Amino acid sequence: MKRILAPLLLLALLCVCLTANAAGDTLRFDNRANTVGVGETLETILQRSGAPAEGTLTYESNNPRVVTVDSEGIVTGVSKGKATITAIVKTSNKTYKAQLSVSVVRKATGIDVDKQKLSILKADDPKLAGILKEGGEDLPVLMIPVKKSVTIKASATPMDVTNRKVKITSKNENIASVRGSAVTGRSAGETVLTIASEQNPEVSVSYRVLVVQPVTRVNAEPQNPRVAVGYQLELKASVQPANATVKGITWLSSNPTVATVDKDGVVTGKSKGNVRIYATATDGSNIRANINLRVTQPAEKISLQAAQQIVAVGKTVTLKANVLPSNTDDKSVVWTSSDAKVAKVDKHGRVTGVSVGTCEITCESATTPGVTASATVTVQQPVTKIVFDEAPGVFVGETSQLTWHIEPSNASDGSLTFKSSNPKVVAVDANGILTGLRRGEATITATSTDGSKRTAKIKVKVSVHATGVHMRRRAAYINVKESATCTADLEPKEAGDTRMTWTSDDPSVATASGDRNKVKITGVSEGVTTVRGVLLDGGFETSIEVHVGNWDKSVKLTHIDVDSIRGMLNGFTVKNVSSDLTITSVTCDVFFFTYKGADIPVNTKDGSGKVSVTFKKTLYPGDSGRWKFNGKNIKDFQMPEDDVPGWIEIRVTSFQIDNDWNKGIRESRQPKIEWK
């Protein structure tokens, strides 16, 4: 370690101490000695007089990581930063303290120069042969053009040095002058440039500066040359002015994968494309000439997208040729067919099927004879239509076969693929066999495999088998020469096969017709018979008793009650005039007219003068019942305030028998009652 001694300061301190002793008790540092370098030592100067001069003296550092202090008060710099040194004197009566703030600095050990934008060469570089003066210093050579400036970016190292600034000086300002970090070439010649630490000037680096007459132009030839892949071409270049200090040229290719160039300007073609060759002056002026070079590539091979191709009669398919290598200059080709009666080909490679058969289509390079490729073309008769037959019945857990036919019948390939739109409901295999998986519907799509892309669809319903059947109504009441439809409900209700046969025990009373679970019953003559239905799926049977008669006259309106002053309907009376029917409800239409017979718009829904009312009361044979009208017990009814009915008509439109059979009455036969 280095020790910094301060004899002059010590002498001065002794003088101060003599004075201080006379003045009284004193303990303090001379703060002019307060800076030390990392790894160096500093001898502190402490003034003691009076009582502090007699006591025991110790030293402390508040941050030993920055500075340490020994028992003699000698401070050692450990790391860059600041710390406080405390001197402590203990006497029998009192403790005295003095403090000194010490700064630890990092000194420069080297100079870092950014050479990225500087033209620096070794003294023995061939480019400088015959240019440098003999006997000059063996230093790196910094080249600067006359009347040009370069910026020297340099700093002291290491990174944590207290002062990183440097100072740049030129040995001969007439050759190269320095202003801050800018060095300017003044006149052609040589000098030495020194870059030194501002904090520690002994730390420095030097360069031999060569101020040159720069190149102002580079001429290269030939212009826009061409070279084939694998061949070479020699380029030439010269510099201007003739008295340029350095006349050397460096050659560079912008893309060596297309073309390379050696130090003598010899270019070698590598791959097809355009490349730029640069001829650059070596004097640091960066003056260059650009040569645009074209590397050409002939065809070497042709490959077709497919070696086998199928085309339909009358249809067209395009063969795509790939001329290799991919960077071939001229990729034009010529197409020919070995049998134009089977297939013909145009200049674009479009092949048209003429008749069923096989031929060869050949593709040849238009500029490189012998470079060919061929494809075998098979001409087929395509499928034009797929037609499914009737969809088969499919049940859960069972299989069924789809049936179909292909058009035309002489199609070259009639094979199909099948797909279910809902494979969780029904699955289909490659042979069109369906397997029911759960109840529901799915669409089966068949697609031709010959490339014609023809499709057909058929909807398939998957059902479950019936376990029984029953009629929805207990009995049917039908007028002579009238018909009614009755429904049979399958068990379970999701059973899918609703086909049934229907018969009447006495066709002279009523006939039955239908092939599903709905039967049409037609009254022939008054009487009673039974209509029976048999379910084809399982043979389950059901029946309904049919009564044929004149049932429209079973209900009669016997009385209408109207407030004659207000013309307001209060109610009406209904009577069961049949001898053996139990009527459980009666539905009527009520019409409101003016005195002149015009509708009064009482129906708030459609604006008509008609509303429907239902009398819900059981009427046994001979019973009568009165229905009370209050205006609020009818849906969609509102009597206009400015209209008073002059005519009210009530018609029976239907009635229900035993809460089971609803008997509708034709308008011409509807019982009615009026008030005017």
- 219-233 pLDDT, tens digit per residue, is 998 888 988 888 899
Q: For the chain, first and last CA: distance in Å?
A: 138
Position 1 scores a pLDDT of 41
List Cα–Cα distances, 634 to 11, 282, 412, 662, in angstroms. Answer: 129, 111, 73, 21
Q: Kindly indicate the confidence band of residue 467, based on its pLDDT and cuts at 50, 70 and 90.
A: very high
CB 634 within 8 A of CB 603: no
Spatial distance between the Cα atoms of 603 and 589, rounded to a whole number of angstroms: 12
pTM over 0.85: no
SS (H, E, C) 368-418: CCCCEEEEEEEEECCCCEEEECCCCCEEECCEEECCEEEECCCCCCCCEEE
**Sequence-ordered list of residues with C-beta below 8 angstroms from that of 457, at least 6 positions apart, any chain:** 388, 443, 444, 445, 446
pLDDT of residue 20 exceeding 60, the answer is no
Position 242 scores a pLDDT of 84
CB 461 within 8 A of CB 518: no
Rg (Cα) of the chain, in Å, rounded? Answer: 59
Share of the chain above pLDDT 90, in %: 65
Number of H helices, E strands in the chain: 1, 63
List Cα–Cα distances, 5 to 2, 17, 657, in angstroms. Answer: 10, 19, 135
Q: Kindly indicate the confidence band of residue 14, based on its pLDDT and cuts at 50, 70 and 90.
A: very low
Q: Token digits for 602?
A: 């009482």
Spatial distance between the Cα atoms of 109 and 365, rounded to a whole number of angstroms: 71
- Which candidate, 86, 87, 102, 85, places its Cα nearest to that of 37? 102
Position 33 scores a pLDDT of 84
Q: The dihedral of CA 124, 125, 130, 136: what is its sign?
A: negative
pLDDT tens, residue by residue, 44-67: 999 999 999 988 999 999 999 999
DSSP assignment of 469-528: EEESSSEEEEEBT-EEEEEEEEESTTB----EEEEES-TTTEEEE-SSSEEEEEE-SSEE
Position 202 scores a pLDDT of 92
**Sequence-ordered list of residues with C-beta below 8 angstroms from that of 293, at least 6 positions apart, any chain:** 224, 225, 226, 227, 233, 259, 267, 274, 275, 276, 277
**HSE of 146, CA atoms in CB hemisphere, 13 A:** 13
pLDDT of residue 207 exceeding 70, the answer is yes
Share of the chain above pLDDT 70, in %: 96
Bridging pattern class, strands 350-353 and 120-121: unpaired
**Sequence-ordered list of residues with C-beta below 8 angstroms from that of 134, at least 6 positions apart, any chain:** none
Spatial distance between the Cα atoms of 100 and 34, rounded to a whole number of angstroms: 7
**Sequence-ordered list of residues with C-beta below 8 angstroms from that of 164, at least 6 positions apart, any chain:** 108, 155, 156, 157
Strand order in the sheet with 176-179: 149-151, 182-185, 176-179
Does residue 298 have a cis peptide bond before it, meaning omega lies within 30 degrees of 0?
Answer: no
Q: Region 613-637: what's the mean pLDDT?
A: 89
Residue 227: strand, helix, or coil: strand
pLDDT tens, residue by residue, 563-615: 877 778 889 999 999 988 999 999 999 999 998 889 999 999 999 999 999 99
DSSP assignment of 661-674: EEEE--GGG--EEE
Q: Region 170-174: what's the mean pLDDT?
A: 94
Bridging pattern class, strands 95-105 and 35-37: parallel
pLDDT of residue 124 exceeding 90, the answer is no
Q: What backbone torsions phi and psi does residue 22 show, to the nearest 5 degrees?
A: -70, -25
Q: Kindly indicate the confidence band of residue 215, based on its pLDDT and cuts at 50, 70 and 90.
A: confident
Spatial distance between the Cα atoms of 585 and 587, rounded to a whole number of angstroms: 7
Position 228 scores a pLDDT of 82
Spatial distance between the Cα atoms of 572 and 665, rounded to a whole number of angstroms: 19
Amino acid code (one letter) for 325:
P
CB 429 within 8 A of CB 498: no
